[in-house]
Copies of this chain bind each other. A is one copy, B any other.
Amino acid sequence: MTRLRNYTFDEITIGQTARYSKTVDERDIQLFAAVSGDVNPVHLDAEFAAGTRFGERIAHGMLTGALISAALAMELPGPGTIYLGQSLRFRQPVHIGDTVTVELEVTAKTARRKTVTVACRAVNQAGKLVASGEAEVMAPEQKLVLPRPVLPGVEPG
């Protein structure tokens, strides 16, 4: 896929859905630790994590929040979306190697401010709910079809 497309406020319908998946790998944990500054050993130190209730390293909870935000920005409504608010409940830990699929469903539209309410669920490869919540966004007024910028290449150094 080499183009990004959005849905304008007028195109969006109640009940419209979208999905966005990403496998959370070792590199993602390192990157999220670097960008947030959260270097807790439950994320980074296998030996420490083995002694916690989780039994092994887990992803940062807000990494799932980042995937939900990406689903809104990339898929529904897509480019031009203004992020107004998000609620999140963290239900289950995400482990390294898990594939997280974000499921979005439009539940409300408000014409006055062009805002859209989106129910958000994130499930793992076993179908277990890892996080849920609700987003409020301002949907784009203008249709956009854009070349997709290249994903920055970043590696733990």
In the complex, A34→B45 CA distance in Å? 22
CB–CB B38/A70 < 8 A: yes
Q: A41 an interface residue at 8 Å Cβ cutoff?
A: yes
Give the residues from 98 to 157 in chain A that come closer than 8 angstroms, CB to CB, to chain B: 146, 148-157
Q: How large is the interface on A (under 10, 10 to 19, 20 to 34, 35 or more residues)?
A: 35 or more
CB–CB A154/B79 < 8 A: no
Complex partner residue of A65 from B40, B65, B80, CB under 8 angstroms:
B65
Q: A30 an interface residue at 8 Å Cβ cutoff?
A: yes
In the complex, A93→B22 CA distance in Å? 26
State the Cβ distance, A76 to closest chain B Cβ, in Å.
Answer: 13
> Given A65-B62, A88-B86, A152 and B38 touching (CB < 8 A)?
no
Complex partner residue of A62 from B44, B86, B146, CB under 8 angstroms:
B86
CB–CB A33/B152 < 8 A: yes
In the complex, A151→B43 CA distance in Å? 12
- A67 — nearest CB in chain B belongs to which residue? B36
Q: A69 an interface residue at 8 Å Cβ cutoff?
A: yes
In the complex, A152→B157 CA distance in Å? 7
State the Cβ distance, A25 to closest chain B Cβ, in Å.
Answer: 10
State the Cβ distance, A111 to closest chain B Cβ, in Å.
Answer: 19
| Interface, chain A (partner B; CB < 8 A) | 4, 20, 22, 28, 30-42, 44-45, 48, 52, 60-63, 65-70, 73-74, 79-80, 83-90, 146, 148-157
